[in-house]
Each structure stands twice: as C-alpha cells, then as structure tokens.
Amino acid sequence: MSPPPPLTRTRDHPAVRQALAVGLATGAYGVSCGALGVAAGLSVWQTVLTSLLVFSGGSQFAFFGVIGAGGTPAAAVATSGLLGVRNGIYGLQVVQLLGVRGWRRLLAAHWTIDESTAVAIGQPDLRAARLGFWVTGATIFTLWNLTTLAGALAGEAMGDPRTYGLDAAAAAAFVALLWPRLQGRDPLATAAVAVLLTVLIAPVAPPGVPVLVAATAALAVGVLRMRRTSVLTP
C-alpha cells in the first residue's frame, strides 16, 4: 500500500481550494439564519440548535417562516422536513462515493447538503470527490453554527423585528435560495403551479398549510413527468 500523500499536497489540492471557497461563502450566510430565527420568535439557543441539528438553510428558513407567521410547530416541522427530503436523495449518491461506515456514515449523512454534494460530484476522481465533500461539509458546518450564533445575538439586541422588516425576511431568503435552481421549462412551470396554489389557499388556510400543499403539488408534477418520460422511453 502506498503511503498517504503529504499534507501540503492535500492542502493545495484544487478540490480543497474549491471546497474552502464554497464553505466560506455559504457559512457567512448563517448570520441571516440566526437573525431570522430570533425574528420568528425563537430564543438564541433554540435558533442555534436548528443549525446544529437540522443544518439545512432552506429547511431552517421555511421553519422560521411558518413559526413567524403564527403557524403551529407541527406545520413548521412538516414543511421543514418536506424540504429536507432532497438531502436524503443526495445521500443515495454520496454514500456510494464516500464508502464510509459507522459513526463516519452518520456524520456524512448530517453534512450531506446542496453545497457538499455539488462540490463532491463535480470532481474528476474519487480522491478529489472525497476531499471536496469533507472539507466543504466541515467548513460550512463550523462557520454556519458560529455565524448563526452571531446573527441570533445581534437579532436579539435589535429588538422588535417588525421595526426593520425582518418579519418578512425569511420568505425572501428562501426565495433567494430557490431562484437559481429554477432553470428550464419544467422547474419554472412547477414553480408557477406552486405559486398559484399558494395564492389561492393562503387567505383561508392556517400558516404552513399553503407551503405543504404547494410542495405536494410540485411532487405530483414531478411524478407525472417521470411517468411520462418512462412511457415515451422505449
């Protein structure tokens, strides 16, 4: 068995540089996560726990949005969990890529997010993919939790979030995360259906329910598209 590569070679690997760049940019955004959590009515430590235990920006912002709008905790958890399903789908590919077992597998599952998956699968070889995944995951997890704490403390010191318009910021932040992924006709059509349902249902449904209905509709569109593709494929 050949010896492991020198530390300098690992540190200077292109996958590591890419992972650090992505991790630093994403981790800094945790400040808004902390501020929005407190703005939604959570305490500082409750907000920090969402980053430690959930560690998924889209799911956290959805949770804050439902809670901030007066929705029930059950609706907030359901909405957050539904949006987190994509991480489980990522995991099906990442687990084969990493080849980990035991506690490392649990850690890999927790760190399987959009950014770590994207960096890993974008590498030219297996070693680079594993480096990219672990460095991205470690960097974002560390920074995201630190900046969440900083944002939560700052948000608590600011007082009433409605004074600064932060009561609507969770929805805006979630849209900002979603928009770059709407490429092509099918995603845009699905988004249009979800928006239409949300507009129709929001005036009469409790907070959190319109998001669940829209997400379910999006899943239904995806299933129909898969069936249509399978029928057309010889």
Each residue's pLDDT tens digit, 155-212:
877 665 555 554 454 455 445 545 555 555 655 666 666 666 666 765 666 655 666 6
* 180 sits in which H/E element: none
**Rounded distance, CA 88 to CA 71, Å?**
26
**Rounded distance, CA 140 to CA 146, Å?**
10
Question: pLDDT tens, 102-161?
Answer: 888 899 999 998 888 888 888 888 899 999 999 999 999 999 999 999 999 988 776 655
**Rounded distance, CA 68 to CA 36, Å?**
9
CB 170 within 8 A of CB 39: yes
**Rounded distance, CA 132 to CA 115, Å?**
10
